[in-house]
Structure 1
């Protein structure tokens, strides 16, 4: 089987909306490339680009989504975007992310690719002895841990007292946040994602970290999943784009929790999101952090 790989570089102001559209179109997969420019640097341009590089993967028969991508880029950023496409085989599709994914630390955690797990456990480096390893194979689900939103949540999770707490992870992606929470002594985690690829990735990573299904249950779904709607939680984590959060404010308000941790909101939308929380959910901001234009918002009601 073949896949269509489209390398996209888009102004960061449009990246969130573009990602939301990719979710809506249900493409086979996509992720940001954090350490690689997809287009050559223009004369006089700064080394750090204002564009966000994204790789999109389409099933061979999905010609409609490719057309939509080209139309969108020409419509919103004809002069500032860049894209090129190629055919790749299944193995390339599955292995594409590995060249960009190496172990790194964030807060109390070390995030380690699953294919380096054995070597990591054999080599007991002193500076790592007090850290918590989180073994992740992201596949094509969002959640390598490299993205600022994931780093922000991981860092904050390590500062919270989660011993014996029940947590909901909505938009789990690779399951990285659920796995991290499970290693902090939580009593139960329900992780949901609307993408079947993400569900498979979360289950794989749960098992790689030797976490039981009784502790971390992974389901396909979103804010309207019965387990999310009906059960009570000590903490709800949602690392999801502002567009999706805004569209689900009524469901967020209906969740049976007093404690929320949001990421995925860009700085330009922060005040708008806080106002939505204030008017539709109620409560107050208790902690915030930011990284490279992305916001972390901890909210209690």
Structure 2
């Protein structure tokens, strides 16, 4: 099967609206190119560039969505946006990132590509023994583990006693955080994402790690998902952008948990986010750290 890959560069002010339209048009898949890098920002460099690169994938027969994308770009930012397209085979996309995705350590974890699982287990170096392996194939979903926000959460998870605990992972992406939580012996994890590609990716990675679907439940949805709204959790993890967190603050406040891990908030919006948590959710920050302009905030409150 062939896919049309459209490489889009759009002013960041329109990126969220553009993504919403892609969801509405039900394209085969898309993802933003974030900051999957290890070197720190230069002093004068902005954490979010003026333009946001987005990769969009369309089914071979989907000609309408391609036309809508070009019309949208020409309407909102004819001078500042850019797009180019090419045909790719399914395997070409699935194999492209493998060249650059190698095992790496973060906190107590070693994140290992699923296609290197057997070799990694048979040839562990001394420093890898005793670590917690997390086998991941990111596929179309966001969540290789390289991004600062994901690394921040992984680093903190190893310091929290999750054995026998229940956890919600909202915006699960590839499922990397849910799998990591399961590896720390949580008794039940509900992982949700609004992107069906992410749901498939999370379920695949769950199975690759030998985790029961009774322990790690993966379903499509967000803060409104019935299980997220009704069940009680010892911890809620949300690695989601500030804009989405802000828009769902009332729903966050209504969750049945007193313990949160938030990531995806840039340093420039940290104070605003903390004020929103204090005024709408209640409680206090108990741990904060940052990396390359991204924040991790651990928040607790009394049980509602």
TM-fit CA distance, 1:6:
2.2
Structure 1 length-normalised TM:
0.86
Does the aligned pair in 1 maintain the 2:193–2:199 contact within 8 Å? yes
TM-align CA RMSD? 2.8
In structure 2, relative to structure 1, the CA distance for the partners of 1:259 and 1:114 (3 Å cut) is same
- Give the equivalent residue in structure 1 for 2:235: 235
Does the aligned pair in 2 maintain the 1:4–1:87 contact within 8 Å? yes
- Give the equivalent residue in structure 2 for 1:133: 133
Does the aligned pair in 1 maintain the 2:30–2:54 contact within 8 Å? no
- Give the equivalent residue in structure 2 for 1:41: none
1:165-187 CA distances to partner (integer Å, 9 max, x unpaired)?
11011111111000000111211
Q: Quick one: distance in 2 between partners of 1:114 and 1:269?
A: 35
- Give the equivalent residue in structure 2 for 1:215: 215
In structure 2, relative to structure 1, the CA distance for the partners of 1:244 and 1:207 (3 Å cut) is same
Q: Quick one: distance in 1 between partners of 2:296 and 2:84?
A: 33
Q: Quick one: distance in 2 between partners of 1:283 and 1:215?
A: 29
- Give the equivalent residue in structure 1 for 2:42: none
1:131-154 CA distances to partner (integer Å, 9 max, x unpaired)?
111000111011111111111111
In structure 2, relative to structure 1, the CA distance for the partners of 1:238 and 1:49 (3 Å cut) is closer
Structure 2 length-normalised TM:
0.85
Whether 1:89 and 2:89 are equivalent positions in the alignment is: yes
In structure 2, relative to structure 1, the CA distance for the partners of 1:279 and 1:132 (3 Å cut) is same
Deviating more after overlay: 70-79 vs 3-12: 70-79
Q: Quick one: distance in 1 between partners of 2:90 and 2:73?
A: 27
- Give the equivalent residue in structure 2 for 1:29: 30
- Gaps of at least 5 residues in structure 1 are 37-45
Does the aligned pair in 2 maintain the 1:167–1:235 contact within 8 Å? yes
Q: Quick one: distance in 1 between partners of 2:289 and 2:13?
A: 20
Q: Quick one: distance in 1 between partners of 2:207 and 2:16?
A: 31
In structure 2, relative to structure 1, the CA distance for the partners of 1:151 and 1:22 (3 Å cut) is farther
- Give the equivalent residue in structure 2 for 1:297: 297
Does the aligned pair in 2 maintain the 1:33–1:55 contact within 8 Å? no
Does the aligned pair in 1 maintain the 2:36–2:146 contact within 8 Å? no
Does the aligned pair in 1 maintain the 2:138–2:174 contact within 8 Å? yes
- Give the equivalent residue in structure 1 for 2:191: 191
Q: Quick one: distance in 1 between partners of 2:148 and 2:21?
A: 20
Whether 1:172 and 2:192 are equivalent positions in the alignment is: no
Q: Matched residue of 1:228: which SS?
A: helix
TM-fit CA distance, 1:194:
1.6
**Count of aligned residue pairs for this structure pair:** 291
1:106-134 CA distances to partner (integer Å, 9 max, x unpaired)?
11111111000010011021011121110
Q: Quick one: distance in 1 between partners of 2:204 and 2:8?
A: 28
Does the aligned pair in 1 maintain the 2:236–2:260 contact within 8 Å? yes
- Give the equivalent residue in structure 2 for 1:275: 275
1:32-71 equivalences in 2 (<5 Å) = 32=33, 34=35, 50=49, 53-60=53-60, 61=62, 63-64=64-65, 67-68=68-69, 71=72
- Gaps of at least 5 residues in structure 2 are 38-44
TM-fit CA distance, 1:19:
5.2
TM-fit CA distance, 1:83:
3.6
Deviating more after overlay: 181-190 vs 291-300: 291-300
In structure 2, relative to structure 1, the CA distance for the partners of 1:122 and 1:149 (3 Å cut) is same
1:193-252 CA distances to partner (integer Å, 9 max, x unpaired)?
122211111111111111111211111211111111111100000111222212211111
In structure 2, relative to structure 1, the CA distance for the partners of 1:21 and 1:266 (3 Å cut) is farther
